[in-house]
Structure 1
Amino acid sequence: MNAHTRPPKALATFRPQTRLRRLGQQVLRNGLPPLVVGALLLIVWQLLCSRPGAALPPPSQVVSDTWELITQPFYDNGGNDVGMAWQLLASLERVAYGYLLAAVAGIALGVLVGQSVWAMRGLDPLFQVLRTVPPLAWLPLSLAGFKDSHPSALFVIFITAIWPIIINTSVGIRNIPEDYRNVARVLRLNGWEYFQKIMLPAAAPYIFSGLRIGVGLSWLAIIAAEMLIGGVGIGFFIWDAWNASRISDIILALVYVGVIGFLLDRLVAFIGRLVTRGTAN
Structure 2
Amino acid sequence: MTVSDTKTAIPYYGGEKESLFFTEGVRAFLLFVGSLIAFLLFWEIGARADWFAKGMPTASETLSELWWWITNPFFNNGPNDLGIGWNLLISLRRVAIGYFLASIVAVPLGILMGISSIARKGFNPYVQLLKPISPLAWLPLGLYIFRDSEITGVFIIFISSIWPTLINTAFGVANVDKDYLDVAQTLGASRLRTIFKVIIPAALPNIVSGLRISMGIAWLVIVAAEMLLGTGLGYFIWNEWNNLYIPNILVAIFIIGLVGLILDSIFAAVERFVVFGRNS
Do these two structures clear the TM 0.5 threshold for a shared fold by scoring above it? yes
Deviation at 1:59, TM superposition (A): 0.8
Change (3 A) 1:135 1:23: farther
1:161 alignment counterpart: 161
Change (3 A) 1:53 1:265: closer
Residues 10-60 of structure 1: CA deviation (Å, up to 9, x unaligned): xxxxxxxx9xx8699464144332222222221222222221374221211
**1:277 correspondence with 2:268:** no
Counterpart amino acid of 1:253? Answer: A
1:273–1:279 Cα contact (<8 Å) kept: no
Q: Which is further off, 197-206 or 29-38?
A: 29-38
SS of structure 2 residue aligned to 1:229: coil
How many pairs are equivalent?
Answer: 260
After superposition, residues 102-181 of structure 1 pair within 5 angstroms as 102-181=102-181
Counterpart amino acid of 2:106? Answer: G
2:250 alignment counterpart: 251
After superposition, residues 219-258 of structure 1 pair within 5 angstroms as 219-231=219-231, 233-258=232-257
**1:99 correspondence with 2:99:** yes
Residues 161-192 of structure 1: CA deviation (Å, up to 9, x unaligned): 01011111111011101001101111222233
Residues 244-273 of structure 1: CA deviation (Å, up to 9, x unaligned): 101000000000000101111111121222
1:52 alignment counterpart: 50
Q: Which is further off, 68-77 or 81-90?
A: 68-77
Deviation at 1:122, TM superposition (A): 1.6
Change (3 A) 1:262 1:23: farther
1:157–1:222 Cα contact (<8 Å) kept: yes
Counterpart amino acid of 1:132? Answer: P
1:201–1:276 Cα contact (<8 Å) kept: no
Q: Distance in 2 between matches of 1:179 and 1:42?
A: 55
**1:28 correspondence with 2:19:** no
Deviation at 1:136, TM superposition (A): 0.6
Counterpart amino acid of 1:259? Answer: L
Q: Where in structure 1 are there 5+ consecutive unaligned residues?
A: 1-17
Change (3 A) 1:137 1:31: same
Identity of aligned residues (%): 41
1:10 alignment counterpart: none
Q: Distance in 1 between matches of 2:86 and 2:221?
A: 19
2:164–2:211 Cα contact (<8 Å) kept: yes
Deviation at 1:138, TM superposition (A): 0.7
Change (3 A) 1:52 1:276: closer
Q: Distance in 2 between matches of 1:137 and 1:57?
A: 33
Q: Distance in 1 between matches of 2:75 and 2:93?
A: 19
2:168–2:206 Cα contact (<8 Å) kept: yes
Deviation at 1:278, TM superposition (A): 5.9
2:202–2:278 Cα contact (<8 Å) kept: no
Q: Distance in 2 between matches of 1:33 and 1:208?
A: 31
Change (3 A) 1:61 1:279: farther
**1:68 correspondence with 2:68:** yes
Change (3 A) 1:278 1:248: farther
Aligned partner (choices 34, 37, 43) of residue 35 of structure 2: 37
Change (3 A) 1:200 1:22: farther
The TM-score, its normalising length taken from structure 2, stands at 0.86
Deviation at 1:238, TM superposition (A): 0.4
2:6 alignment counterpart: none
Q: Where in structure 2 are there 5+ consecutive unaligned residues?
A: 1-15
1:212–1:269 Cα contact (<8 Å) kept: yes
Counterpart amino acid of 2:170? Answer: S
SS of structure 1 residue aligned to 2:76: coil
